[in-house]
Amino acid sequence: MANVAQSLVATGHTIRGVCYARPDYISQAIAGLSAIPPERVGPSGEYDYYGLAKRIHISYCDRVGRSAVRQLSVKQRGSAVILSGQLDTFDLLDQLVELALHAEGATHVEVHDVQVSSLELSQPARVA
Protein backbone atom coordinates (compact mmCIF):
# COMPACT_ATOMS: atom_id res chain seq x y z
CA MET A 1 0.00 0.00 0.00
CA ALA A 2 2.81 2.41 0.79
CA ASN A 3 4.20 1.91 -2.74
CA VAL A 4 0.88 3.00 -4.24
CA ALA A 5 0.81 6.18 -2.14
CA GLN A 6 4.45 6.95 -3.04
CA SER A 7 3.80 6.47 -6.75
CA LEU A 8 0.69 8.69 -6.63
CA VAL A 9 2.58 11.45 -4.81
CA ALA A 10 5.56 11.07 -7.11
CA THR A 11 3.39 11.48 -10.21
CA GLY A 12 1.52 14.51 -8.81
CA HIS A 13 -1.95 13.00 -8.17
CA THR A 14 -4.12 14.34 -5.35
CA ILE A 15 -5.69 11.94 -2.89
CA ARG A 16 -8.88 13.10 -1.15
CA GLY A 17 -11.39 11.33 1.05
CA VAL A 18 -9.31 8.29 1.91
CA CYS A 19 -9.88 6.75 5.32
CA TYR A 20 -7.76 3.96 6.70
CA ALA A 21 -8.98 1.84 9.58
CA ARG A 22 -8.48 -1.54 11.14
CA PRO A 23 -10.82 -4.16 9.65
CA ASP A 24 -12.58 -4.76 12.99
CA TYR A 25 -13.22 -1.01 13.41
CA ILE A 26 -14.93 -0.57 10.04
CA SER A 27 -17.98 -2.63 10.99
CA GLN A 28 -18.31 -0.71 14.29
CA ALA A 29 -18.00 2.65 12.52
CA ILE A 30 -20.59 1.73 9.89
CA ALA A 31 -23.02 0.60 12.59
CA GLY A 32 -22.56 3.94 14.37
CA LEU A 33 -23.19 5.89 11.17
CA SER A 34 -26.40 4.03 10.46
CA ALA A 35 -28.00 5.17 13.73
CA ILE A 36 -30.12 8.30 13.41
CA PRO A 37 -29.66 10.91 16.16
CA PRO A 38 -32.88 11.08 18.22
CA GLU A 39 -33.58 14.70 17.28
CA ARG A 40 -33.45 13.77 13.58
CA VAL A 41 -35.93 10.88 13.68
CA GLY A 42 -39.06 11.72 11.72
CA PRO A 43 -42.67 10.81 12.50
CA SER A 44 -42.36 7.46 10.71
CA GLY A 45 -38.90 6.59 12.01
CA GLU A 46 -37.10 7.89 8.92
CA TYR A 47 -34.27 10.43 8.90
CA ASP A 48 -35.73 13.93 8.94
CA TYR A 49 -33.68 17.03 9.71
CA TYR A 50 -36.72 18.59 11.42
CA GLY A 51 -38.02 15.31 12.82
CA LEU A 52 -38.17 16.40 16.46
CA ALA A 53 -40.30 19.47 15.69
CA LYS A 54 -42.63 17.44 13.48
CA ARG A 55 -43.07 14.70 16.10
CA ILE A 56 -43.78 17.26 18.82
CA HIS A 57 -46.32 19.09 16.67
CA ILE A 58 -48.10 15.81 15.97
CA SER A 59 -48.15 14.97 19.68
CA TYR A 60 -49.60 18.43 20.43
CA CYS A 61 -52.41 17.89 17.92
CA ASP A 62 -53.14 14.44 19.39
CA ARG A 63 -53.05 15.54 23.04
CA VAL A 64 -54.65 19.00 23.06
CA GLY A 65 -56.27 19.20 19.64
CA ARG A 66 -55.28 20.85 16.40
CA SER A 67 -57.39 23.95 17.09
CA ALA A 68 -55.59 24.63 20.40
CA VAL A 69 -52.19 24.84 18.66
CA ARG A 70 -53.24 26.23 15.27
CA GLN A 71 -51.33 29.49 15.89
CA LEU A 72 -48.30 27.92 17.52
CA SER A 73 -45.04 27.43 15.66
CA VAL A 74 -42.83 24.50 16.68
CA LYS A 75 -39.26 24.65 15.42
CA GLN A 76 -36.01 23.06 16.41
CA ARG A 77 -32.35 23.99 16.59
CA GLY A 78 -30.55 20.69 17.06
CA SER A 79 -32.12 19.12 20.12
CA ALA A 80 -33.67 22.40 21.33
CA VAL A 81 -37.40 22.89 20.75
CA ILE A 82 -38.48 26.46 20.02
CA LEU A 83 -42.10 27.54 20.57
CA SER A 84 -43.57 30.81 19.29
CA GLY A 85 -46.99 32.12 18.34
CA GLN A 86 -50.30 32.40 20.18
CA LEU A 87 -52.05 30.23 22.76
CA ASP A 88 -55.25 30.58 24.79
CA THR A 89 -53.92 29.98 28.30
CA PHE A 90 -50.71 29.89 30.27
CA ASP A 91 -51.69 26.43 31.55
CA LEU A 92 -51.73 25.20 27.95
CA LEU A 93 -48.24 26.61 27.41
CA ASP A 94 -47.06 24.85 30.56
CA GLN A 95 -48.58 21.57 29.33
CA LEU A 96 -46.96 21.92 25.89
CA VAL A 97 -43.54 22.62 27.41
CA GLU A 98 -43.86 19.45 29.52
CA LEU A 99 -44.84 17.39 26.47
CA ALA A 100 -41.87 18.73 24.50
CA LEU A 101 -39.42 18.04 27.33
CA HIS A 102 -40.50 14.40 27.38
CA ALA A 103 -40.09 13.92 23.61
CA GLU A 104 -37.29 11.59 22.55
CA GLY A 105 -34.31 13.73 21.53
CA ALA A 106 -35.37 17.02 23.16
CA THR A 107 -32.89 18.50 25.61
CA HIS A 108 -34.59 21.82 26.33
CA VAL A 109 -37.48 24.05 25.27
CA GLU A 110 -37.18 27.73 24.41
CA VAL A 111 -40.28 29.95 24.42
CA HIS A 112 -39.92 32.98 22.13
CA ASP A 113 -42.66 35.60 21.75
CA VAL A 114 -45.61 33.42 22.75
CA GLN A 115 -48.71 35.55 23.24
CA VAL A 116 -51.12 34.12 25.80
CA SER A 117 -54.75 35.28 25.78
CA SER A 118 -55.37 34.45 29.43
CA LEU A 119 -52.65 34.60 32.07
CA GLU A 120 -54.86 33.08 34.76
CA LEU A 121 -53.18 30.12 36.36
CA SER A 122 -55.13 27.23 37.71
CA GLN A 123 -54.91 27.46 41.47
CA PRO A 124 -54.74 24.41 43.73
CA ALA A 125 -57.87 23.91 45.80
CA ARG A 126 -57.73 25.67 49.15
CA VAL A 127 -58.22 23.66 52.28
CA ALA A 128 -60.70 25.33 54.63
Number of neighbouring beta carbons within 10 Å of residue 100: 26
- Condensed to tens digits (0 to 9), the pLDDT of residues 60-105 reads 999 999 999 999 999 999 999 999 999 999 899 999 999 999 999 9
Measured between alpha carbons, how far is 83 from 99 in angstroms, rounded to an integer?
12
Which residues have C-beta within 8 Å of that of residue 83, sequence separation ≥ 6? 72, 73, 74, 93, 96, 97, 100, 109, 110, 111, 112, 114
**Strand (E) or helix (H) holding 108:** strand 108-118
- Condensed to tens digits (0 to 9), the pLDDT of residues 12-22 reads 555 555 555 56
Prediction pTM value: 0.69
Domain at 18-118: CATH architecture: 2-Layer Sandwich (3.30)
**Domain map of the chain by residue range?**
18-118
Number of neighbouring beta carbons within 10 Å of residue 30: 9
